[in-house]
Structure 1
Amino acid sequence: MMNYTMGKGNFTNWIVSEVEFSPDTLGKCESIMYLGNGYLGLRSATEEAYLKETRDLFVSGTFNKFDENEVTELPNLADVTRLDIRIDGERFSLEFGETEDYVRQLNLKTAELTRTFTWTSPKGKTVRFHFRRFVSLENLHLIGMKMDVESVTHPVTISFDSGINAQMSNTGAQHFHEGERRIFDKRFVQLVQTTTQSKIDMVLNTAHKVMVNGVEVSEPVMNMDRRKVWLNFQANLEPGDKLEMEKVTTVYTSRDKEFDTPDYDLGQLRETSLEDLRTSFEKGYQFLLEEHQDAWNRKVWNAYNLEVNSKDSFDVLALRFAMYHLTIMTPAHDERMGIGAKALSGEGYKGHSFWDTEIFILPFFMYSNPEVAKSLLKYRYLGLVGARKKAAENGYEGAMYPWEAAWPTDGEVTPVWGAVDIVTGEQTKIWSGFIEQHITADIANAVHQYYTITGDQEFMDEYGYEMIFDTATFWASRLEWNEDKQEYQINQVVGPDEYKEHVDNNAFTNYMAHHNMQLAIRYADALKQENPERYKALNNDLNLDAAYKNWQSKSDKLYLPQPREEDLVIPQDDTYLQLKEIDLTKYKNQEKVGSLFNEYNLEQVNQMQITKQADVVILQLLLEQSFSKEVKKANFNYYEPRTLHDSSLSLSTHAILANDLGEEDLAYSLFKRATEIDLGPAKFSSDHGVHAASIGGIWMSAVLGFAGVRVLDGKLRINPKLPKHWDDMKFTIYWKGQPVTLTITQSSLTVKAENYEIFAFETFGNTYECKDQLEIKINS
């Protein structure tokens, strides 16, 4: 059972709590309370083991292919969090005995996980436990753990095993060769493991300090087994005695930038990682925790400065939850790495990156931390190698980005086969990797958005132009000429609505492809004038003169589905509006996503007016300048009742558009539903990991939606429309490199240029210039 009201004082609306233990619903808290720093992701499994647990530790970018017939994935490293605890020689478990005052909490502000309870054994002996854990934001390689155990009523003998356990897998797939294990000075434990295919070395080191009433326990018993090394500690506790255990772990890999060099040496990696452990261990848990907390304040909470005063305090916690997870899911330290659809919280989607990053996560960083946004876009630039390979393999030119990406040069890594077909009993083929192609235009649009918001010319010169030009070249080669209609079309695709496969002229895909080619034309024109030397260099590499003619002639003749005269509805694709309709009420009110497929298979759903997620609706958000308010309203009203929101990406998009259209109550209810995808009462919705894009969508709903911050035709627009019960909202964004603080109430907008650099913005049709601070009255 979850509780979000336990934070008091300085921690009000900062605490995510579980107040009742259940061995059957472990996945939810393991995921939503996971710890990380963008380099490491540690799933928050309990210290003691349970049958239905999932223990995961990931390092960004360390992809491996278990077998040639498998798909590359982030491997699950050795486990360092499990403690096999025995009380009077019997295994400790909350499935036995009596448990009182159970609370597990993630403090979003300090990024520390705690768990406290009082346990009475089957023999009637009462013991109090307190566990603490963090993954450092100050030292990306560091994990800290602490356990306090106090005997309350009787003398007890406590013993526990703790070390490094490499007997782990990814749901059965073993990604590592067995490596060397060592114990130095009867304290410092080291284990090396190497991935089977990508040959990445991982070095894990750990050390313990165990005290009883302030006196260190004598030497532990040392043990080794296959893929496992550990220490056994034992102590006798009288009533009132307290055992304290601190465990510090460091994780390093040969993929780390400082070691991924031609002269790489495993011995140096082992020595460096072990020295870091020795130094960190001397500092102790509390000192390391304080360094970590200071990093969170400095890099996150004081930097992003987001405050909301809402009559529903859950809104405040949900936004903090979003910023916490956006921080820990993002490999800000290394531009060679992207963000997985399940972040670093679970094995879902194998750690692969999707369009989720560009559409739902990048906006947060573009406005809040442009350097991180740049790193994520450089990941896509490095992915041009794989994108060009995919284009060539499919008979196209330019760069065709993979639907699922892992290591940037890997190319397409989408699995070919998925879940069982409810009708045929066979595996369902996953067509996304073959024909869901809009991601190419999504990435180009993200480059354009980044440049518009930041003005980062160096990025464009070094990376951005090339990405936009070569993706436009792909689309020009992808278009198909329809002789009868004298137009270009894009046939046999999957759009954002993945319940419609092999459709022709998906509106989202066609419009975004057209936008991609138009961007290329616009940037090529500008580059010729402003930097002819750079244009010349790119022309030599990409044959831009010929490509330009193609973009121009083909984009002008690309079919863009138009609003119908009778109702202004834009056809999602060539056949959608002719498909049969069914009553979707029970599926709209479903308790579990995908209940539709208990009764229909995908082929049948393909023949119905049922949409998985925002398709035409998200197009009208991304290219809002292309559609009138009347067209937006007509399409929202048509497609939303037909959309099941079976993708977690969908609700936030609809929330933003509903707010734009004056449907404030609906907008807020959709925002609430988005916040509850991970934080809500559903017990199993997050078992495979958090929903990274939806988490980005929570921030988008608040800042792009309720605060109305958008870029329109290259200009900053701020059209606030707060929910009725939000008194005010404050946050800092970056515009052209300058931090700008916005304070919004029901009746006013205050804009502050933190560097006193003059800039222009638009609010409700009026243009303003601000060089220090400006207050504007708005309609309530």
Structure 2
Amino acid sequence: MKNYIKADEWNIIEEGFDPHLNKISESIFSLGNGRMGQRANFEETYTGETLPGNYVAGVYYPDKTRVGWWKNGYPEYFAKVLNAANWVGIEVKIDDEVLDLATADVSDFKRVLNMHAGILERTFTAKLKSGKIVKVKAIRFCSIADDEVGVISYSITPLNFGGKLTLMPFIDGDVKNQDSNYDEKFWDMVADEITGTEAYIKLRTKKTEFEVCTGSNIKLYKNNEKLNINPEAVRKEKFVGQTFSLDVKAKEEITLIKIVANLSSENYPKDELLKKTKSVIAKTTSKGFDVLLKEQTEAWATKWEESDIIIEGDVSAQQAIRFNIFQLFQTYTGKDDRLNIGPKGFTGEKYGGSTYWDTEAYCVPFYLATAPQEVSKNLLIYRYKQLGKAIENAAKLGFKDGAALYPMVTMNGEECHNEWEITFEEIHRNGAIAFAIYNYIRYTGDESYLSDFGLEVLIGIARFWKQRVNWSSDKQKYVMLGVTGPNEYENNVNNNWYTNLLATWCMRYATEAAEIVQNQSPEKSASLLKSLNFDAKEFADWADIIEKMYYPEDTETGIFLQQDGYLDKEQTLVKDLPASERPINQKWSWDRILRSPFIKQADVLQGLYFFEEDYDLETIRRNFDFYEPRTVHESSLSPCVHSILAAKLNDEARAYEFYLRTARLDLDDYNNDTEDGLHITSMAGTWMSVVEGFAGMRVRDGKLQFNPFLPTQWKSFSFTIGFRGVTLKVTITENGINIKNNNDVDVEVAIKNQFYKLKGNAEIEVNNAELV
């Protein structure tokens, strides 16, 4: 675990330059705006260890999978979000020396990510081998006010010399992904253009033929006075830039303003891309750096008004929760229902930048409460639009009659994961998608979603489960064989409790949804069911499976067994594992892991989290106390579920312990894996740990309910949520809870099962003594 980020409520601060930490910092200080993202690579040359990363949403490449291609039904490719053209580059030469932080003597290095404004600032002093010393200040942001635009202000001041300064801002499209097979490069050149201070490059991906045009405009200033220098054009393979040369004196500050646009053929006709990019550059250049910065600051201020969590008395925790919220909004803004959330967002290449079940299970709750309703709705519509592909995916595995299996990993709806135990067996992802529909409607009350989109998806998923189970004559029950649950340290097991539970719940909810649509609009219901060739007998088939499904359980202890035979394993506990053997996914063979009792992430407990209303506290406690000591939490998605359940059980110490594990996972590089990107989807789990865990927020019967506690390490915490047309500010102190209604609509809320009428633009305060 690292601990080099300075504690600050609104800023992520790194002081001093350590090359061994550079790739970690490149992840932590990443920027994005939902349409594009950029790792915190340096503008100037850096020949040290680095992971370059610039990503454009929705643009991917179907890289040939290296394994499993010969198995029937196996994906032919692994989709990857591509490392796109590097737009931040500025080569700096002092006389004939290149400024390179890998070879220079660097001092006074400081990097600050201002989360309130969405701005990255970096300052340092560098002494070159010649003895010349320069001071640099760089400011960068990806605009969320205009999500096709990135902006850089790069200032350099010679401190102890005068001489020739040469700046070469460039756009480099000759890039590749770190994990590309055989170091293949995925971009082909289409066109380029350099005119004075503007440069453009248009690239096309191989196979998928996405096109991206990147353009830039450069302005140069000396001591804040604009310079008019005719640059020299620079062209290389898939590379455009300009060279600006000028004589400088000691203490003269030269500032280069670089305004960049990234436009994709996902949003514009290919033959208009260059023209449209020029238009964006002209528009943003006319605004200038100061106006663009003001727009960025104001846009982020609005986001924080809607979503901030304020923690009093713990600066480290305050910094962590804001960092998690900040990165979530940098990754996804909900403007485009073709886009989704990759586990690494725009901060790295691991997991291909593709969509997993993480979105539905972890991210949807965050966006439901902190963003306009349309944002979370678009996450659901993304899956609705890919229903046809989900049916094709199921058909490849032998399913029929409209059965739908959503992919474990996807960009366009096709399955593209390259591990058999995931591709074929981790089918619980289907249930997470159905649960997200239920969760959305439970939170928003928008039942019209079922008739417009949701029922069709739910029927496809229920049809899959019906065909996936089989009747066991021995058990006289329906069983499900050969699956992998959320705990990926078990493969090819029979009757994973969580998966079996999800299967029957999905069929039950699909039945209920059909009844709702029938009651809402009989004509629409009849038309939809006819288009799906739906036979009413399917309801009876689902009901039979629901009634007769087998769930593994140890009747003596009352423990729901993760799968058949789990208790045959030697029941060693995590506390008995030597620290030298952890993490086991890096220290043990896969064979040894599979034979062990150790759990990668919440499995049975994931089901108890989803469906906690169906179980009494004692049942949840028994299973929590059994499984938590066996869980190594080597998935970033695991601690938040444990934190929420521990809070429900009034186990405040463990609730806070698990919160800490998820809150600063990346800031402290807890699992030694931050260098390849941040854990974006688990960041939503951090928010859940506070709001659903410590505040105990739930939706029951269309009303918000709270069951709060204050961690002893904090003086208070507060958060803002949107719910069915109202915005509530919730504050929890050692004395009790205060809820303020910021709208003129009355709302009823429950606090520890006592209901209160909260009038519009009013507030209520309930002391702990009143809740005993």
Say whether the fold is shared (TM-score over 0.5).
yes
Q: 1:581 to 1:700 in 2, by over 3 A?
A: same
Q: 1:2 to 1:90 in 2, by over 3 A?
A: farther
TM-score (norm 1): 0.92
Q: Where in structure 2 are the equivalents of 1:146-545 lying within 5 Å?
A: 146-171=153-178, 172-184=183-195, 186-213=196-223, 214-216=225-227, 218-256=229-267, 259=268, 264=269, 266-298=270-302, 300-309=303-312, 311-369=313-371, 370-397=373-400, 398-408=403-413, 411-416=414-419, 430-542=420-532, 543=534, 545=536
State whether residues 115 and 130 of structure 1, in contact with CA within 8 Å, keep that contact through their aligned partners in structure 2: yes
2:57 match: 60
Q: 1:249 to 1:218 in 2, by over 3 A?
A: same
SS across alignment from 1:93: coil
SS across alignment from 2:283: helix
Q: Where in structure 2 are the equivalents of 1:534-613 lying within 5 Å?
A: 534-542=524-532, 543=534, 545-562=536-553, 564-582=554-572, 584-585=574-575, 589=579, 594-600=583-589, 602-613=590-601
2:717 match: 729
Amino acid at match of 1:598: K
In the TM superposition, residue 684 of structure 1 has moved relative to its aligned partner by 4.2
Which whole-Å CA distance do the structure 1 matches of 2:53 and 2:140 have between them? Answer: 15
State whether residues 5 and 667 of structure 2, in contact with CA within 8 Å, keep that contact through their aligned partners in structure 1: no
Q: 1:654 to 1:588 in 2, by over 3 A?
A: farther
1:770 to 742, 758, 762: 758
Q: 1:583 to 1:323 in 2, by over 3 A?
A: closer
Which whole-Å CA distance do the structure 2 matches of 1:281 and 1:571 have between them? Answer: 62
State whether residues 485 and 499 of structure 2, in contact with CA within 8 Å, keep that contact through their aligned partners in structure 1: yes
State whether residues 7 and 13 of structure 2, in contact with CA within 8 Å, keep that contact through their aligned partners in structure 1: yes
State whether residues 455 and 737 of structure 1, in contact with CA within 8 Å, keep that contact through their aligned partners in structure 2: no
Which whole-Å CA distance do the structure 2 matches of 1:590 and 1:383 have between them? Answer: 45
In the TM superposition, residue 725 of structure 1 has moved relative to its aligned partner by 2.6
Amino acid at match of 1:26: N
Q: 1:66 to 1:178 in 2, by over 3 A?
A: farther
2:675 to 687, 691, 695: 687
Q: 1:778 to 1:531 in 2, by over 3 A?
A: farther
1:661 to 639, 643, 649: 649
Q: 1:620 to 1:715 in 2, by over 3 A?
A: farther
Which whole-Å CA distance do the structure 1 matches of 2:389 and 2:222 have between them? Answer: 56
Q: 1:211 to 1:736 in 2, by over 3 A?
A: closer
Which whole-Å CA distance do the structure 1 matches of 2:410 and 2:611 have between them? Answer: 25
1:755 match: 743
In the TM superposition, residue 687 of structure 1 has moved relative to its aligned partner by 1.6
Which whole-Å CA distance do the structure 1 matches of 2:82 and 2:275 have between them? Answer: 23
State whether residues 653 and 697 of structure 1, in contact with CA within 8 Å, keep that contact through their aligned partners in structure 2: yes
State whether residues 46 and 101 of structure 2, in contact with CA within 8 Å, keep that contact through their aligned partners in structure 1: no
Count of matched residue positions in the alignment of Structure 1 and Structure 2: 747
Which whole-Å CA distance do the structure 2 matches of 1:43 and 1:130 have between them? Answer: 18
Which whole-Å CA distance do the structure 1 matches of 2:486 and 2:547 have between them? Answer: 24
State whether residues 40 and 57 of structure 1, in contact with CA within 8 Å, keep that contact through their aligned partners in structure 2: yes
Amino acid at match of 1:151: P
In the TM superposition, residue 680 of structure 1 has moved relative to its aligned partner by 0.8
In the TM superposition, residue 649 of structure 1 has moved relative to its aligned partner by 0.5
Deviations 1:548-578 (A, max 9, x none): 222212111111334x343222101001121
State whether residues 217 and 235 of structure 1, in contact with CA within 8 Å, keep that contact through their aligned partners in structure 2: no
Amino acid at match of 1:63: Y
Which whole-Å CA distance do the structure 1 matches of 2:112 and 2:577 have between them? Answer: 33
Deviations 1:334-393 (A, max 9, x none): 101111111111111011111111111111011222221111111111121111111122
User: Which stretch of structure 1 is more off in the superposition, 220-229 or 721-730?
Assistant: 721-730
2:73 match: none
Q: 1:376 to 1:470 in 2, by over 3 A?
A: same
Which whole-Å CA distance do the structure 2 matches of 1:279 and 1:482 have between them? Answer: 67
State whether residues 451 and 525 of structure 2, in contact with CA within 8 Å, keep that contact through their aligned partners in structure 1: no
State whether residues 42 and 56 of structure 1, in contact with CA within 8 Å, keep that contact through their aligned partners in structure 2: yes
Which whole-Å CA distance do the structure 1 matches of 2:273 and 2:493 have between them? Answer: 51
State whether residues 709 and 732 of structure 2, in contact with CA within 8 Å, keep that contact through their aligned partners in structure 1: no
Amino acid at match of 2:708: P
Amino acid at match of 1:612: K
Amino acid at match of 2:393: K
Which whole-Å CA distance do the structure 2 matches of 1:251 and 1:503 have between them? Answer: 46
Q: 1:457 to 1:526 in 2, by over 3 A?
A: closer
Deviations 1:598-622 (A, max 9, x none): 232x233212111111111121111
Which whole-Å CA distance do the structure 1 matches of 2:349 and 2:256 have between them? Answer: 30
In the TM superposition, residue 727 of structure 1 has moved relative to its aligned partner by 2.2
Which whole-Å CA distance do the structure 2 matches of 1:329 and 1:588 have between them? Answer: 37
Q: 1:588 to 1:320 in 2, by over 3 A?
A: farther
Amino acid at match of 1:148: S
SS across alignment from 2:134: strand
Deviations 1:663-717 (A, max 9, x none): 2122112111112210115594212211012211110111110111113465432
Deviations 1:477-512 (A, max 9, x none): 211110121111111100000000001111111111
Q: Which has the higher contact order (CA 8 A, sep 6+)?
A: 2
Q: 1:683 to 1:304 in 2, by over 3 A?
A: closer
Deviations 1:118-177 (A, max 9, x none): 122223222111011000001010000111111112223222322110110112332211
In the TM superposition, residue 80 of structure 1 has moved relative to its aligned partner by 1.1
SS across alignment from 1:435: coil
Q: 1:70 to 1:20 in 2, by over 3 A?
A: farther
Whether 1:110 and 2:117 are equivalent positions in the alignment is: yes
User: Which stretch of structure 1 is more off in the superposition, 551-560 or 701-710?
Assistant: 551-560
Which whole-Å CA distance do the structure 2 matches of 1:305 and 1:49 have between them? Answer: 36
In the TM superposition, residue 322 of structure 1 has moved relative to its aligned partner by 1.2
2:46 match: 49
Which whole-Å CA distance do the structure 1 matches of 2:575 and 2:100 have between them? Answer: 43
1:22 match: 18
Deviations 1:247-301 (A, max 9, x none): 0100101101xx2xxxx3x332211111110221222222211111111112x11
In the TM superposition, residue 586 of structure 1 has moved relative to its aligned partner by 7.3
SS across alignment from 1:510: helix
User: Which stretch of structure 1 is more off in the superposition, 101-110 or 628-637?
Assistant: 628-637
Amino acid at match of 1:748: G
Which whole-Å CA distance do the structure 1 matches of 2:563 and 2:328 have between them? Answer: 34
Which whole-Å CA distance do the structure 2 matches of 1:487 and 1:173 have between them? Answer: 51
Q: 1:217 to 1:100 in 2, by over 3 A?
A: farther
Which whole-Å CA distance do the structure 2 matches of 1:112 and 1:465 have between them? Answer: 43
In the TM superposition, residue 222 of structure 1 has moved relative to its aligned partner by 0.9
Gaps of 5+ in 1: 8-12, 417-429
Amino acid at match of 2:484: V
1:427 match: none
Q: 1:484 to 1:713 in 2, by over 3 A?
A: farther
